[in-house]
């Protein structure tokens, strides 16, 4: 569903002010899809994304949200309703759960507080934000969750993070099953190592890490945001309307 077929569609994207979320919002805009996207704290970055979307000929509204704070979801839902009215709509078509935090600590050194924080953002937040927004998600809509290549390949220091992402992958299949009667699809995208500011820019800014990633990736390099944003935008389109309940890894052939 590119070009004119996409006009009038609206996406809600969490964590849309930077990294993969920003890139997804941009590529949706190029398909004529407007967005309401969330940001955690950097309002300046969020404004820059909205301006970028406007330059692409679409519209975007930035809303602040801590996706790990489920108590904020009712109020956020009301703000989302207002944002949708600004866009001339009462509902939206696509929900992309992108917001996340990183974690790199061995199991023996991981604290309960760290696990709780990961759970709040990566599973509980995804579950209950979906629940809160389902009344606004139009029948025939799409849900995309974002997982990680680390659910397939075990890298020491990533156990709690990967476990939460594994839970999201299972949740995605259940969303596909339970929302099928509304013709809503749900799929999970699992990126490999990508050059963003995630994990403090570890893949992007550390030459040794970047080189190691390239060595164990079939296509011979680390990923970049432009490898993921267009893929998510395409997955949301009608071209992929029969793809449902799937985990789709986008890693360039990492550790095959």
Residues catalogued as catalytic? 161
CA proximity to 63, closest of 101, 30, 33, 21:
21
- In the chain the first and final C-alpha atoms are separated, in Å, by 32
CA dist 148 and 151 (Å) reads 6
Tokens representing 10 are 């609206």
The two tokens of residue 137 are 């998600």
Containing 229, the helix (H) or strand (E) segment is: helix 229-236
Q: Which two tokens stand for residue 227?
A: 């490898």
The torsion of the CA quartet 207, 117, 128, 160, rounded to 10 degrees, works out to: 60
Q: What is the 3-state secondary structure (H, E, C) of 120-148?
A: HHHHHHHHHHHHHHCCCEEEEEEEEEECC
Report the alpha-carbon distance of residue 24 to residue 11 in Å, rounded.
10
């Amino acid at each position: 569903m590119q070009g004119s077929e996409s006009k009038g569609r609206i996406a809600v994207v969490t964590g849309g002010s930077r990294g993969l979320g920003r890139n997804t919002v941009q590529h949706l805009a190029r398909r004529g899809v407007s967005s309401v996207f969330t940001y955690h704290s950097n309002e300046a970055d969020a404004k820059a994304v909205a301006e970028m979307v406007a330059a692409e000929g679409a519209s975007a509204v930035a809303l602040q949200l801590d996706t790990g704070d489920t108590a904020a979801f009712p109020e956020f839902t009301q703000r989302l309703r207002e944002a949708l009215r600004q866009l001339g709509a009462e509902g939206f078509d696509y929900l992309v759960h992108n917001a996340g935090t990183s974690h790199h600590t061995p199991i023996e050194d991981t604290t309960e507080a760290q696990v709780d924080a990961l759970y709040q953002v990566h599973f509980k937040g995804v579950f209950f934000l979906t629940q809160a927004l389902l009344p606004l998600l139009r029948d025939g809509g799409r849900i995309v969750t974002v997982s990680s290549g680390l659910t397939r390949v075990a890298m020491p220091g990533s156990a709690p993070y990967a476990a939460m992402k594994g839970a999201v992958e299972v949740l995605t299949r259940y969303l596909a099953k339970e929302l099928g009667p509304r013709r809503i699809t749900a799929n999970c995208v699992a990126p490999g190592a990508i050059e963003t500011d995630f994990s403090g820019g570890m893949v992007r800014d550390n030459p040794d890490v970047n080189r190691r990633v390239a060595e164990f990736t079939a296509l011979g390099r680390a990923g970049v945001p432009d490898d993921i944003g267009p893929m998510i935008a395409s997955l949301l389109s009608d071209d992929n309307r029969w793809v449902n309940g799937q985990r789709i890894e986008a890693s360039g052939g990492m550790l095959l």
